[in-house]
Amino acid sequence: MKKYFATLSLLALFMLSTTLFGQAGPPDPPGDPGTGGGPVGGSSPIGSGLGIMLALGAAYGAKKISSFLSVQKEDSAEETKRLAGNNK
């Protein structure tokens, strides 16, 4: 009987606790609710931010290429010196 009562009380607890999680929906947007307001992003422009990000990416890429080429130039100069030293 105790097991039956515990199961029944646990089931009742779960069934009644669902009302605690009920929430009201979001409020209507200002103005006419039928229009739906602006776009999802809040009508913020992304053009200037996109241009800044492209410029920063181009500068970063140019720096990486420049450092890669300077390392190759140094390696080439060291190889030339090493080969020139072996020919004497």
Tokens of 81: 């010196």
Is residue 34 scored above 80 in pLDDT? no
Q: Given this model, what pLDDT does residue 64 score?
A: 95
Q: Given this model, what pLDDT does residue 76 score?
A: 84
Q: Given this model, what pLDDT does residue 48 score?
A: 73
H or E element at residue 70: helix 47-87
Q: Using alpha carbons, select from 87, 68, 63 the residue that is nearest to residue 79.
A: 87
pLDDT digits (tens, 9 = 90+) for 50-87: 888 999 999 999 999 999 999 888 888 888 887 777 66
